[in-house]
Structures are given as structure tokens and as C-alpha cells.
Amino acid sequence: MKTSDIRARFLGFFEENGHTVVPSASLISNDPTLLLVNAGMVPFKPYFTGELAPKWDRATSVQKCVRTVDIEEVGQTSRHGSFFQMCGNFSFGDYFKKKAARYAWELMTKSQSDSGFGFDESLLWVTVHTDDDEAHDIWANKIGIDSSRIQRLGKDNFWDMGVPGPCGPSSEIFVDRGAEFGPDGGPETGGDRFVELWNLVFMQFERGASEAGAGKGYDFPILGDLPAKNIDTGLGLERVATQLQGVDNLFEIDEVYPVLDRAAALSGKKYGADHEDDVRLRVVADHVRTGLMLMADGVTPANDGRGYVLRRMLRRAVRSMRLLGYDDPAFPELFSIARDSMKSSYAEVDTDYERISDYAYAEEEQFASTLRAGTTIFDTAVADTKRAGGSQVSGDKAFQLHDTYGFPIDLTLEMAAEQGISVDEDGFRRLMGEQRDRAKADAAGRKLGGADSSAYRKILDTSGTTTFTGYAEIERESRVAGLIRAGQGIRGAGEGEEIEIVLDSTPFYAEGGGQQPDNGIITIGDGQVEIFDVQSPLPGLIVHRGRVLSGEVTDGSSVLASVDINRRRAISRAHTATHLIHQSVRAHLGESATQAGSLNAPGRLRFDFLTPGAVPASVLADVEEEVNAILMDDLEVRAFLTTQQHAREIGAMALFGEKYGDTVRVVEVGDYARELCGGTHAARSGQLGMVKLLSEASIGSGVRRVEALVGLDAFQFLAREHVLVAQLAESFKVPADEVPDRVASVVEKLKAAEKEIAKLKSGAILDKAADYAAGATDVFGVSFVGVEGPPGLAGNDLRSLALDIRGRIPADRPAVVAATTTSDKGASFIVATNDKAREWRLGAGEIIKVLAEPMGGRGGGKDDIAQGGGTNAAGAAEGLRRTEHWVGQRVTGSL
């Protein structure tokens, strides 16, 4: 029975029994305590805890789940997988133990011809909690299971969420796999013979806090019965599929094995022949499927959060393929197979496959280069460690691998373990902490203006928070709550001094959420302070930085705070334009193209968003046209406060990574765009005038940046563009609409000229081959030629040069040719040997490693010719010197 059929039978059975079928929630959890949904009941948690009233009395679902706590164990055993599907049926104050048990037993034992799973009753065992006589009685006397196959267990059969709230005993259904998997004795014996398939949780009590504090425990008090008893069950879909498909483990079921089988074929391995290879094949199969499902739900590779979970799994899959001996891109072969295996249950993996594959292929390509460079550095570090008699790679070397070469610490730990050594994790964490502290200090320096936070804390403790009134007004009478100069509180300041002013209330917007701060004037009697920056160094405190233009400002003074209205309006127009661009980008590229950063400045904006590749010019043109059409519609821009839950229900976008309180501010542009936002905005979309997209480019893996102008700045840009086109048309003596063709023609001619120049340069270099061959060094009977080629020499030309030199050396004499060239990106190098040299055990594939090391690179190839690249161009001369020395050692037998 296919896994998708098992899934359909489960949902169909409970739908026939009055349950509402609830689609799987996204793997991206709304629960702030979870990165990813890791259990079937997670989407229903608010109903069980009483946060929300249940929408149904009975529900059923097959929930996608990801667990990564024991990711290192994936593949090591046949049980550990990171992605799984949990079938569940739920009762919210409706039926309880008796019906839950009857439903489970009926579906498990009903014949397959009658839409059941068809398990042999004699192979099924049940466990109940030690004190749950009611459940024992139901299984034995109502269901009719032989009491010898019902076992009472302790805390393993009691469920709670780790915090005060609902809890209760549970009951589990196990299947006996047979004597070949272990001794008899039922589930209490442990081991692999008895496998849990279904867990039924009976939520009937309310628990208090554990004596040990938060977290799972068995020492919490039971406060009493819940007002309504609930049912939460979980049937492991992969586990049931394993049994019904007659295979040994989850990696061999129909949704997983095709990927494993293709990985084995690509690498020339046979599954089941070698344990280490089997582990790697299982890692590939599991991580490719999990990666597919995560990306289908909008997760993209990143260096933190759930994006890092995805990146780590994709990179483990790539490295596993390399360890299996397959060095070519594997994801184009594997992801399409995972898609075909999963699409019957989750159509989104098929309909969104182009975006998913773009991210996957890009991640593999990026990591392949990282792996090449980092592995060389790692191998050197391991060799140095062992040579020094140590057993631990230093923390600074692990940090260098992470910081310079993008090697995750998890990968370094795995590779070290494979070499039988450890890593100084404490040293690594310390260096990472120092780096984070420096970054935080830099950010704090902007917020604090170089001041010690104690001065701000004192004002906050004394005068309280600052009331922001800038949504409704741009001018306000206020009182000076505190003055700071050079990090110290002061009583007053005079003309020419730069100071920081805290007011009890202010219309000035403090920089935040990508929006630049307001500027303006604070008037004190006959004096004025020019405000050029506004920050919020502590939550609730707004600090105005400025220069006293005239008069004197004193603590406690009454002032008039006036925002520069033109600057405010220009920034607000840019912020509203950002919302419109965000909405339009998502409409054209998919909902996963979410904001990853922004800058809203007077008349201009910068918008960063997640997407795997370059955005076609046609799509950008469509986005720009759509946004400007919204401006023509002159939609009302409205802001209001509401609860987080209501904001989600009405579809307001929230930025991942941002922290929101229970009450949130929603900004709407008509019915077109709706986001959680604390910034200032135009009153109507028509006030933006015009939005002009200037550029689109990559700023990191999977992150693109659009820059745009808004309002008068956009008009002025187009005016300048018009003048420029007119000047070009005049220069080329053609109409304006023919300028692009004429420019393209000139560029083509320039490219042709550059190619001809390069050809002449290449010819001049190759003409020197005879001179290089004639100047070969005799190294104990070997003709050795070491060439530092001119910078920027093309790889094909370097290869041709080496082969030409080798061909000019008499065939009866061993010849080794090593050549290098450098560029601002690093170095390229090549080694060529003739037949006679190879008879002397001088193979290019071995020699290239010696040449590569000083250049921080690696290379490979055959015995007659090998090539590679490195990051340290300055090591080229040293590489040639070491190569010549190595050749001498090999010939004289001193290696």
C-alpha cells in the first residue's frame, strides 16, 4: 500500500466518523517557542490550552513535521529521520477514551479490502499508564484484547507539554515485528522487535509547575480535572508504511527509497553492502526530502534560524554524496525524484518546483566551492594537529573555517570525528561570541551615540518612557526630561554644543524598521536646537541628537518640537512605496519572496527580499507598472491597532525575525497591501506621485535587492534620463528609439577587438614555450620547468602553454612542467608530465597537491595532466619551489 494511500485511508476513515479534515499546517510554526512544527498537535495547541475556542468538536489531520534535535543520528540507525508525517484525530470536549480506542483498533485491524490497514490482531500490543485502570478495562473488556498483550508502563505513558496546563495518561499501540528482531516480552522489553505505531493521549488533568522549574518532568502536581476532556492521537505515517510495505525501515518506503536508490546509482554504490555507505545514502535520502518540504513551505537557506536548519541538511547531503565518490552536481538528479515521490500528497512541491530547485541547485553549487577550499584548510589543520602530537583542532582554526570559508561548525565537528580527533568547541564559541559582541557594540554605538547606557537608564527610571505622538502631529509642546553630553547627564547647554535631548513626549520618529529618523527643530524660548538624528537606545526612550543653534537649553524646560515636514513626507512616501513593492513582488514571484530588510529615506528606498535567483527584467517592469497603477487609484492608507491573532486572520504580513507584542499596528493600502508596521506613511497612495525601480541585484545567497526612487526624485531621475538619451541620439546621429541598437553595435565591435587583442597576447605567450623548455632545470635526471605565467592568463592558455612546453622536451627524458597564473581572485595552476616521467612514478595528479598547498587551494586530474585553483596568489612562487623540491625527493627515494 502506497504511503499516500495510507494517508488517504486515515483521513477518510475519520471523516466518515464525523471529523473535520484539517489540511496540514505549514512547517513554519506560529508558536514563538518553535522554529518548526515538530508534532502533529502543534497547530491545535491553542485549542488544548484554552487560548482559542475550538472551531470543531472533532478534527483529523496529517501534519508535516520536522525534528532536528538528533540530526547527527539520521542515517546511523534505521529509525531516525528528520521529516515525518503524523496522522492524528482530535476531540475537543467530545468523545474520550472509549471511542478513541475503538476508532484506532477498528482502523488498524479492519481488512484492507474494507478500507482498513489490515494488521493481524495477534501481533498488536497495547500499553497504558500504570494508574490508568479505565484505559486497561476498555482495551481488555470493551475492545477484547488479551490482557497478556496489555502492559502498564510509567512516565513514558504520561503526556504533558512541559509547562503548567493540560496533561494526562496515554496509551500506545505496538506491532510485533517477529523473533528475528529480538526477544519476546512485549513493548516493555525495549529493542527493535516491538515498534510503536499509534499514541493516544487522554487529556483529562491540569498540572502545576514542576519542582525543578520549567521543562519536562514527573514531579509536577496534578491540580485537578480539566473542565473538558480532550483526545490527541498520533499515528506515525512512515512507521505504518514500513509495516504495510513489508520493508525494514523508513528509508525503504516508497516516498524515500527512490531518492536513496538514485543516489546509489550515481555513486556506483550498492545499498546494504557497506554500513558507512548505507549511512551516507540514508542521509542523502532523508535530507533531500526534508529540504524539499521545507522549501515548499517557504524556508530558504540562511545562516540562522530555520534557514540554517535547511542549509545544514542540504550541505550534509552534498558532502555525503562527495564521500560516496560522486563529485558532480547531485541535486538536479535527486530533487526531481523527491518531488515525484511526494507530489501526490503535497501538490505544492510540484507547482512550486522551479523556485525550490533554484534554491537547492544554487546552495549545492555554492557549497561545492566552499567544500573544496575549506577541506584543504581543514586537512592541513588536522595534519598539523597530529604532527604536534595533539588530538584537538584549535578553536581559532575552527573559527577561521567558519568565518573565512563558510564552514559550519557542525561540519567541522563531523569531519574531525571522522579523523578520530576533536575540536576546541569552547574556544570556537568564545571567538564567535567576541565577534557577535563586536557587531552588537557597533549597532549599539549607533543607538547610543557612543554614550554609556547608564545615562539613558537614569533618565528612563526618573522620568519614564517617551510618548510618541508623530502619527497624528508633526509639532508638539513638550518638556525636557533629560540632557546628555558625551555620555554624561547635564543641566544645560549653550550655543554651538552638540547634545542629546529626551522629551516627555515627541512627534519625532526614531530610526527603526528600516525607516530613517526625522530631522527638525526644537525651540526653547528664544533659542533653537537643530535635530539631525533620533534614536531609541532603550525600549520606550526616544533620544534627539542635535546642535544648539542659539540660546540655551536647560533640563526641565518647556519646548516646541517641530518635525521637518518635507523630510517626513518624503520618507513616508518611500515607506508606503516599500509596502506596495513588497506586495507586488510577492504577487509575481510567490509568497516566499518576503522582505529581508529595507531602507526608507527621503525620496528613495531600498528593498531586500528572498528569492533564489535574479529577477527577470520583464517581472521588474510588471512590478513597477502594477505599483504605479495603485498610485493612480489613489487608495486610502489606514493604520489601526489590533491583536496579533486578528492581524494573522485578516492576512496582514509580518516580517520573520521581528518581535511583536500582543497588540500590533497594521498598515493597509486600500485592500491591496496589509502589513504589521510601526512606521509613518502617506495618507493616500496618490501622494507618492511616481515610483521608479532603478536596479535589482544579489546581496547574498538567496537575497536580492531592489532600489527605487519615489515622488519628485523619480521625476527628476526620468528627466535626467531623457536628457542623456537625447545627447546619445545627437552623438550617434540617430533617432532616440534607435540608440539602444547603435550602442549594442558599438559594444559588439569593442568585444571583437578585445578578443583579437587577447588572441595576440596568447600567441605571444605561447611563443615563449621553446624558451621555457630550453631553460628546463635538471633535477636528478628530470627536466623540470616551473613557470609563473603573466597575471590574468586564461585557463585554456595556461593549459596550452604547459602542454606545448612538455611537447618540446625530448620524449626519452622525464619531464615535469608546473605553471601558474594569478588574478585578484587568487591563483590557477597546472601540472603536465610525459610518459617517461610517469615511468619514474611522477604523476601529475599527485604533484598538483604539492603545488596547490601554498596557494591555499587544491587540484586534481589524471597522471598526465592535472589542474586546480587557490585563494592565495602570493603563494605561487613558493608552490613552484616546493614542487621542484618534491620531484627531487621522489626521484632520489627520500620521500
User: Would you give the distance in Å from CA 122 to the centre of its chain?
Assistant: 47
Q: 272: which 3 cell numbers? A: 546494504
- Is 677 a known ligand-binding residue? yes
Give the C-alpha separation, 632 to 687, whole Å. 9
Placement of cell 525601480 in the chain = 693
Three-state secondary-structure class, residue 695 = strand
Number of H helices, E strands in the chain: 25, 35
Give the C-alpha separation, 298 to 301, whole Å. 10
The backbone torsions φ and ψ at residue 822, rounded to the nearest 5 degrees and listed phi first, read -125, 160
Q: Is 422 exposed, middle or buried (0-12, 13-18, 19+ CB in 10 A)?
A: middle
Q: Which of 857, 855, 858 is nearest to 845 (CA)?
A: 858
Q: 132: which 3 cell numbers? A: 490508568
Neighbours of 745 (CB within 10 A): 11
Q: 444: which 3 cell numbers? A: 549599539
- Is 87 a known ligand-binding residue? no
Neighbours of 652 (CB within 10 A): 20
Three-state secondary-structure class, residue 43 = helix
Give bridge partners of residue 679 from the DSSP assignment.
Answer: none
Give the C-alpha separation, 352 to 296, whole Å. 7
The conformation of residue 217, written as its DSSP 8-state character, comes to -
Alpha helices (H) in 85-153, listed in sequence order: 97-109, 133-137
In 53-183, beta strands by DSSP E: 58-66, 83-92, 124-129, 150-153, 158-160, 165-176
The backbone torsions φ and ψ at residue 836, rounded to the nearest 5 degrees and listed phi first, read -65, -40
Q: Is 407 exposed, middle or buried (0-12, 13-18, 19+ CB in 10 A)?
A: buried
State how beta strands 83-92 and 58-66 pair: antiparallel
- Is 582 a known ligand-binding residue? no
Neighbours of 801 (CB within 10 A): 24
User: Would you give the distance in Å from CA 147 to the centre of its chain?
Assistant: 50
State how beta strands 83-92 and 158-160 pair: unpaired
Torsion over CA of 433, 431, 73 and 342, rounded to 10 degrees?
A: 70
State how beta strands 498-503 and 558-563 pair: unpaired
Q: DSSP letters along 723-787, please?
A: HHHHHHHHHHTS-GGGHHHHHHHHHHHHHHHHHHHHHHHHHHHHTTHHHHHHT-EEETTEEEEEE
The backbone torsions φ and ψ at residue 320, rounded to the nearest 5 degrees and listed phi first, read -60, -40
561 membership: H or E segment, kind and range: strand 558-563
Give the C-alpha separation, 474 to 568, whole Å. 9
Return the amino acid letter for 765: I
Return the amino acid letter for 655: L
Bind-site residues: 575, 579, 677, 681
Bind-site residues for Zn(2+): 575, 579, 677, 681
